[in-house]
Amino acid sequence: MSSTEFVEIRDNASLDHFLKSSPKAPVILFKHSNSCGVSAQAYREMAKLGRTVGLITVQKARILSDEVERRFGLSHETPQVMLVRDNEVFWNASHGRVRADAVEKALSAADSAELQ
């Protein structure tokens, strides 16, 4: 399995660039707090994915965290993982539900639905 690449996203421009980096496939966004034990566990889970993950550290990018909440219509949670395609969140989880196996399952389900 390849290693996870965390791409730090700190502002709207880097978020837009990250979202456009994979127009056909879903992208993974992960909101993380570097001062929370639950978020540290979620980070370890995301590190298991072996995929590119957009990382928003709320202490470094609070304005962007608020923008994500506004843009996607989600309540602020940390940790929180979102799967985004065509600028829409089609799956998300927070706190203890941020698990690598759940993300993989959601990505597989999205791929299966797209093939039908």
pLDDT: which is higher, 52 or 115: 52
116 within some domain = no
- Work out the average pLDDT over 13-36: 92
| The residue type at 57 | T
Which residue segment(s) compose the domain that 93 sits in? Answer: 5-110
* CA distances to 28, 56, 59 from 87, in Å: 12, 16, 24
- Work out the average pLDDT over 89-100: 96
User: Can you give the CATH number for the domain in which 77 is found?
Assistant: 3.40.30.10
Q: What pTM value is reported for the model?
A: 0.92
81 within some domain = yes
pLDDT for 2: 67
- Work out the average pLDDT over 56-79: 94
| Total domains, the chain | 1
115 within some domain = no
- Work out the average pLDDT over 45-72: 95
